[in-house]
Structure 1
Amino acid sequence: MFRDREDAALQLAERLEKYKNQNIVVLAIPKGGLPLGAIIAKTLNAPLDVALSKKIGHPYNKEYAIGAVSLEDVILSYEHGVETNYIAKETQRIREKLQRKSEVYHKNKVSIPLKDKTVIIVDDGVATGNTIKVTAQLVQHQDPRKTIVAIPVAPHGAVQNLQDSKYIDEVICLLIPRNFHAVGQFYSEFEQVSEEEAIELLEQTNGTVNP
């Protein structure tokens, strides 16, 4: 059990101490991952960025992901019976949304290059691992040296899902409970993070670290 996101972040930062002052980038999943990412980035003296990607839902069941889109890449995991026109339109729609988010988070600054870096992907917890798994695959297209996933809590199946990914080199998970229903049940305080708070954390963190 964690007191709050700060408590979880400090415990993760301790496990990641060996990477301090190395050639790393902390990549947070917005918005809940940013409070953790900010603390970890400051502790390791590393730059912080956000992972901007979104799933493509099946045309007849939007919750079922058939792939994912970032500003640079498209990954398709299922195409059977799905029209290419639908995929093209969804990709364009999602990209436009991600572009707006990128402008909000980066304020017209470019995202941090990941080539030859050790990338640490951070979230406040995962239920399935699919979002981070897709993020790691998208990260791989930028040729990082190593990709690490650091999360406070996840069920065993999600951890296994991440460990099975050929795009993830190491998974650090502090708590793997048997009785998992939702990430929030393992925090005493688990308030929503607003976009304004997330942006402020990103700006403040990158204004204080000296990678």
Structure 2
Amino acid sequence: MTYADRKDAGLKLAFQLRKFVMDDCVICAIPRGGVPVAFEVAASLHFPLQLVLTKKIGHPVNKEYAIGAASLHSYFVWADEHVSEDYVKAEVERIQTRLREMQDKFITGKTKFSLKGKTVIIVDDGVATGNTILATIQLLRKDEPLKIVVAVPVASSQAYQHLQKDADEVVCLHIAEYFTGVGAFYDDFAQVTDEEVNNYLNEMEHIYQHTETNSNQ
């Protein structure tokens, strides 16, 4: 299965997520590639959308291998990873600096949604290893959601198996036995710019404010 672009993937994913339409849901997008996909899901199902400001902490030898994750206010490292405290501290400081920049650029002034007691749907454009989303799940658990659902257009079979262990539910449209990269499943996999992320978030904020105004009338 291939997708024309992230919008196409998002619309197809939204169709499969209709079963949650009566739930109290918040869509959490993994920036930046997950934002266009998540936007289509949120807009189609009338769910609020916000960014997940978390980043994986990479191993000192291989940065792509996640040993944990950091958010703006907390971090964790998996217990079986043996790395120095100095390395972790430096990486957390670096990551949190970047996350604060992203918060100022993308989130300041926009509606913040509580995740407590909600069905949280984490959306990305695809999953290769699953490490980033696995780490994100661990951090989002601290917000006490009712359940965490991972929703993606495509994932490697290995990543899918890993995600099933940590998420309450995984919705994946295509599980790929032979996985060379997320981009291989898209005709158009252009990099998502900061400007595009802001445009999606601003449009979603406008939709949300309009919906709130109508519901209060």
TM-based fold match above 0.5 = yes
Q: Which runs of 5+ in 2 are unaligned?
A: 213-217
Task: Work out the CA distance in 1 between the residues paired with 2:75 and 2:4.
Answer: 37
Q: Which runs of 5+ in 1 are unaligned?
A: none
Shift of 1:80: 5.4
Shift of 1:141: 0.5
Shift of 1:79: 6.5
- Is the 1:155–1:177 contact (alpha carbons within 8 Å) kept by the matching residues of 2? yes
TM-score (norm 2): 0.89
Q: SS state of the match for residue 65, structure 2?
A: strand
Query: Aligned pair in 2 of structure 1 residues 199, 172: CA closer, same or farther (>3 Å)?
Result: same
Q: What residue in structure 2 maps to residue 183 of structure 1?
A: 182
Shift of 1:78: 4.9
Shift of 1:148: 0.5
Task: Work out the CA distance in 2 between the residues paired with 1:59 and 1:187.
Answer: 31
Q: What residue in structure 2 maps to residue 198 of structure 1?
A: 197
Superposed CA deviations along residues 158-198 of structure 1, whole A, max 9, x for unmatched, are 10010011xx1100000112221011111111111101101
Q: What residue in structure 1 maps to residue 206 of structure 2?
A: 207
Shift of 1:109: 4.3
Q: SS state of the match for residue 176, structure 1?
A: strand
Q: Count the aligned residue pairs.
A: 209
Q: What residue in structure 2 maps to residue 12 of structure 1?
A: 13
Q: What residue in structure 1 maps to residue 76 of structure 2?
A: 75
Q: SS state of the match for residue 199, structure 2?
A: helix
Give me the identity figure in percent: 44
- Is the 2:56–2:131 contact (alpha carbons within 8 Å) kept by the matching residues of 1? no
Superposed CA deviations along residues 60-109 of structure 1, whole A, max 9, x for unmatched, are 44343322101122110156553323322321221121111111111254
User: What amino acid is aligned across from residue 118 of structure 2 in structure 1?
Assistant: K
Task: Work out the CA distance in 2 between the residues paired with 1:5 and 1:154.
Answer: 14
Structure that is richer in helix per residue: 2
Query: Aligned pair in 2 of structure 1 residues 133, 108: CA closer, same or farther (>3 Å)?
Result: same
Q: What residue in structure 2 maps to residue 124 of structure 1?
A: 125
Do residues 114 (structure 1) and 115 (structure 2) align? yes
User: What amino acid is aligned across from residue 175 of structure 1 in structure 2?
Assistant: H
Q: What residue in structure 1 maps to residue 87 of structure 2?
A: 86
| Pairs within 5 Å for 1:45-194 | 45-78=46-79, 81-109=82-110, 111-165=112-166, 168-194=167-193
Q: What residue in structure 1 maps to residue 28 of structure 2?
A: 27
Query: Aligned pair in 2 of structure 1 residues 132, 205: CA closer, same or farther (>3 Å)?
Result: same
User: What amino acid is aligned across from residue 142 of structure 1 in structure 2?
Assistant: D
Q: SS state of the match for residue 115, structure 2?
A: coil
- RMSD in angstroms over aligned alpha carbons? 1.8
Superposed CA deviations along residues 113-157 of structure 1, whole A, max 9, x for unmatched, are 211111000011110111111111111100001111110011111
